[in-house]
Structure 1
């Protein structure tokens, strides 16, 4: 693990391999450990960087400074300090929001964009988004981080053969700082690309799970809005596809990268 100073905070990151850069961005309430199923595979051919976004893992947990835009600027400064001019951004869930924002605001940094079970408008998800914001806020305020971690982990990995991955995910989620998690969550739910999505011309892969919280049709709709995007569906997978179906995900991503 290494630390680097950006925007008055420290980001914790890991850096493996050599070659074109893959930058891996984890989901809300998790850490760079989301990518344990990808780092060994891809670092044989690529330089793979996995980081803890602000408020998460071993990175700084500020009192008030949160939001997708701030996380995006953190990532930009990380690349600048590492003298990396271009990378393929791979963003899972909240990490997908950061990757989308980077593609909209700083497209010159992107070789490719990979969006994994995420979306371009967390602030415009209709009834689903409204219920998520209300229910999770109430749950967090009344029960706390540890019971929330248990519920999220079970929903992501409910099957009998997934007990080990469920327990591992719950363990890292329950270590979240309450304030950091809450502010990361509410600022994420306030973020959206809006019409800016139409200007993104970066070559894009969208990975969807057949049993994700949002349907495949939701992903197909924004794939159709993007200028240069394709959709891959991973079967027998829920939200955490990079964890519950790592081999299938790695094959899909490798095929996309090799067909540039």
Structure 2
């Protein structure tokens, strides 16, 4: 069995061409899945070869009982690209995925042509998992039906949840992570245990050393109204390493690539060089 078979994944764009298409890998954030990148990839796939996948514990990928540190996620990616024979690629990660790609680029810089970190800082936070445990535990899963789940997230969750993000946007995101199980009930698509463990392991130590040691050209993208990456930490990351360039995108919160998809694609183009015209 190929290692990639453990992961729900999708390839987009041409495999061959002249010039040979650049390769991209997109890594989603906490509680996300590969399809979160579809709008961004649609702006690249005429000329660029793209891979998006659900990380371990997320979406429809395998959900092991342990192994949810950034190093574990980075090693998954290493095994995948070695299996594919991808020697060099652009790597994009959002939120938790941004921390995971930072660790990957630190461990395996020879693979990364350009690195893009979207709206995540390197600071530690011992209690960060408590916020996500609180939100996840608000949902009385499993639900008896999809209608029951829809009603909860459209009404009760919005009324009860104390969130850092826009509560209505978060409720829709959570509902998108509901799926029908074989017994007919509706429950989380991801592993709730994996989510909590990912936050614990991802935030138990700071990653400033990895930021300072980065040896690949890096673009740091911040949403102007982000509650996750402060302007202070954004500026400190830029100051810590001349390899890092930054852009703050107006009208965006933490989910920059969703809030301002076109501006996000333009930032990628500006960073890596414009995309070639597709062959007629």
Q: TM-score category by the smaller chain?
A: 0.7 to 0.9
Point out where structure 2 has 5 or more consecutive residues left out of the alignment.
15-20, 142-148, 179-187, 276-280
Point out where structure 1 has 5 or more consecutive residues left out of the alignment.
124-128
Alignment coverage as a number of residue pairs: 245
The 1:94/1:110 distance shift into structure 2, 3 A limit, reads same
Q: CA deviation at 1:193?
A: 2.4
In structure 1, distance between residues paired with 2:89 and 2:166: 30
Partner of 1:137: 133
Question: Superposition pairs for residues 101-250 of structure 1, below 5 Å?
Answer: 101-121=103-123, 123=124, 129-130=125-126, 132-140=128-136, 156-157=165-166, 168-174=172-178, 175=188, 176-213=190-227, 214-250=229-265
8 A Cα contact 1:153 1:169, kept in partner: no
- Output the aligned Cα RMSD: 2.9
More helix by share: 1
Q: CA deviation at 1:143?
A: 5.5
Q: CA deviation at 1:226?
A: 1.9
The 1:170/1:196 distance shift into structure 2, 3 A limit, reads closer
What SS does the aligned partner of 1:115 have? strand
8 A Cα contact 2:91 2:101, kept in partner: yes
Q: CA deviation at 1:259?
A: 6.8
The 1:50/1:139 distance shift into structure 2, 3 A limit, reads closer
What SS does the aligned partner of 1:111 have? strand
The 1:239/1:205 distance shift into structure 2, 3 A limit, reads same
Q: CA deviation at 1:148?
A: 9.5
Q: CA deviation at 1:44?
A: 1.4
Q: Which of 9, 12, 19 does residue 16 from structure 1 map onto?
A: 12
Q: CA deviation at 1:177?
A: 2.2
Q: Deviations over 1:131-158 (max 9, x none)?
A: 5333333454575678899568975445
8 A Cα contact 1:38 1:242, kept in partner: yes
The 1:194/1:215 distance shift into structure 2, 3 A limit, reads closer
TM-score by length of 1: 0.83
Q: CA deviation at 1:46?
A: 0.9
Q: Deviations over 1:89-114 (max 9, x none)?
A: 10100110111001111000000010
8 A Cα contact 1:200 1:227, kept in partner: no
Structure number with larger C-alpha Rg: 2
Partner of 2:48: 46
Q: CA deviation at 1:235?
A: 0.5
In structure 2, distance between residues paired with 1:52 and 1:246: 20
What SS does the aligned partner of 2:39 have? coil
